Amino acid sequence: MLRMVRLAVFLSTVLAVGNLLAGPPPAAPGAGKDDVDDVEDVEAVEVAPSPAAAAIDGKRGGWQDVVGRFHNAVVHVPIGWLMMVLMLDVLAFAFRRKDLEVAGLWALGGTLVSFVPGILTGLLREDFVSQAPDVHALVDTHETLIFVTAGVAAAAFLWRLAFRRELVGARKGAYLALIAVAVVLVSIAGHWGGKVAWGVDYLPF
């Protein structure tokens, strides 16, 4: 009985190995013809770019495109300057350091100057950003916030110049409030700019 079982196992193994070596059975004539016909019926269709995309592609490589690409490099400068101004002014007024007050005034002037290349390159870069409605809305919001931030910083600078010898009490508080508002605005503007560069869902807020 044991010999019969061993013989049956041996024959089953031989048959299985033989089937593997023989490969799959040949396909019946005409098999898969319908699939081939379906593939042959497919046509490649070229989709013409939209007029807006074609206009953007036509201007790529020009001086506006090249200069506008520097926006990502220079746009961070006014952010850093504004934060430095706030830090200098807080230290100057907290410790009554005249030298830090002078440094803060000069730093605020440098802040206003640093807005210029960022705004100019941003305006040049705007034409090369996707014109999709959601992206275009982000660009408009980012642009508006930057202009408002520059305006608030300019108002703070003029206030500081007007009362530079009597910047005390409520005047000092108003000045610091303007600088704090400018820092908050430029941070929000940078957030919206990040959404333009990295996608509308880059951050969940």
Instruction: Return d(Cα 174, Cα 156) in angstroms, integer.
Output: 9
Residues 85-91: what's their mean pLDDT? 94
Nearest-angstrom CA–CA distance, 161 and 171: 12
Q: Which amino acid is at 121?
A: T
Please tell me the pTM assigned to this model.
0.69
Tens of pLDDT, residue by residue over 22-42, are 555 555 555 544 544 555 555
Name the class of domain 58-198: mainly alpha
- 164 — phi, psi (to 5°)? -65, -25
- What is the Cα–Cα distance from 29 to 192, expressed in whole angstroms? 63
Residue 185's contacts (CB-CB under 8 Å, 6 or more residues apart) are 145, 148, 149, 152
Share above pLDDT 70 across residues of the chain, in percent, rounded to a whole number: 70
Domain residue limits, the chain: 58-198
DSSP 145-165: HHHHHHHHHHHHHHHHHHTTT
What does the pLDDT look like over 140-195, one tens digit per residue? 999 999 999 999 999 999 999 998 888 888 999 999 999 999 999 999 999 999 88
Average pLDDT over residues 124-150: 90
Chain mean pLDDT for the chain? 80
